[in-house]
Amino acid sequence: MEKRELVEYWLDMAEKDYQTMKHLYASGDYHWSLFLGHLVIEKLLKALFVAHQAEGANIPRSHDLLLLDTGN
């Protein structure tokens, strides 16, 4: 997958989770809404990470966001 496609993938996934988060919040399911909110932020950070990496760089397969630190 090309870099542009990866960025779009993470942004699309974040948007879908965001919509689900809003539905959960509206239904009063605040606990799961918050959980989805954290996944939205994680996916947006991964999109940003990919956008600023060299072509072909891999995203760490982890929920540990510290692995996204490039040291810059």
pLDDT of 16: 98
pLDDT of 72: 54
CA–CA distances in Å: residue 68 to residues 6, 27, 36, 37, 42? 15, 33, 20, 19, 10
Over the chain (72 residues), the average pLDDT of each successive run of 10 is: 90 98 98 97 92 76 76 56
The pTM for the full model equals 0.83
Residue at 72: amino acid letter: N
